[in-house]
Structure 1
């Protein structure tokens, strides 16, 4: 399972695709067949994000266990808010609070992800 922890590229790819699918599904009509299909594909990507993130967590959490644990927790909360936005939107309920929580949790998750030692050095590009 070294391919899961050799670098962060697989994990980053899964969450970028997941975010694209999320915004695409959120922009579709609530009762459309395309949204239902997109949401099912997105749920597969939730699983892939959790698997790749969990592998990285278990491999590298010994570096800084608290911060990696917080990133893992906020990542799960971000996925939870993504799902809440889509499900409540489909039911016609208000989603404003969940959009706000999604944005906050995503920001914190990205902050920890890029702050931790196993990150991309954007200044090197």
Structure 2
């Protein structure tokens, strides 16, 4: 399982793909068959994000368990808001609050992810 925990590359790739697919699904026509397919693929990516994040959490949480726990929590909240936007948007219910929460949770998750010791160092 070293390929899951040696670096954060797989996890970062998964969440970048997840966000792109989420945005594609969110801005597609509500009743299109393509949106349903993209939404299902996005759900698969959510699972892969959680699996890669959980393996990193288990492997590296001994450095700073509280911050890693918070990052894991905010990551789950981000995925939850992504799903709420897609599901409520399909039902034509208001999604503005969930878009705002998605943006806030995503920024907090990214900040924590890049700040923690296993995170990506932009200055290197």
Q: Same fold (TM over 0.5)?
A: yes
The corresponding residue for 1:25 is: 25
Report the Cα offset of residue 93 of structure 1: 0.2
Give the count of matched residue pairs: 124
Q: Tell me, which stretches of 5 or more residues in structure 2 are unaligned?
A: none
Report the Cα offset of residue 123 of structure 1: 1.7
Residue 100 of structure 2 is aligned to residue 95 of structure 1 = no
CA distance in 1, matches of 2:122, 2:67: 20
Residue 102 of structure 2 is aligned to residue 107 of structure 1 = no
- Say which SS state the counterpart of residue 67 (structure 1) adopts: helix
The corresponding residue for 1:11 is: 11
CA deviations over 1:38-72 (Å, ceiling 9, x no partner): 00000000000000000000000000000000000
Q: Tell me, which stretches of 5 or more residues in structure 1 are unaligned?
A: none
The corresponding residue for 1:72 is: 72
> After TM superposition, which residue ranges in structure 1, 4 or more long, deviate above 3 angstroms?
none
Residue 112 of structure 2 is aligned to residue 121 of structure 1 = no
Report the Cα offset of residue 121 of structure 1: 1.2
CA distance in 2, matches of 1:123, 1:30: 42
Structure-2-length-normalised TM-score:
0.99
Residue 51 of structure 2 is aligned to residue 51 of structure 1 = yes
CA distance in 1, matches of 2:9, 2:52: 10
CA deviations over 1:81-116 (Å, ceiling 9, x no partner): 000000000000000000000000000000000000
How large is the RMSD of aligned CA atoms in angstroms? Answer: 0.5
CA distance in 1, matches of 2:64, 2:123: 23
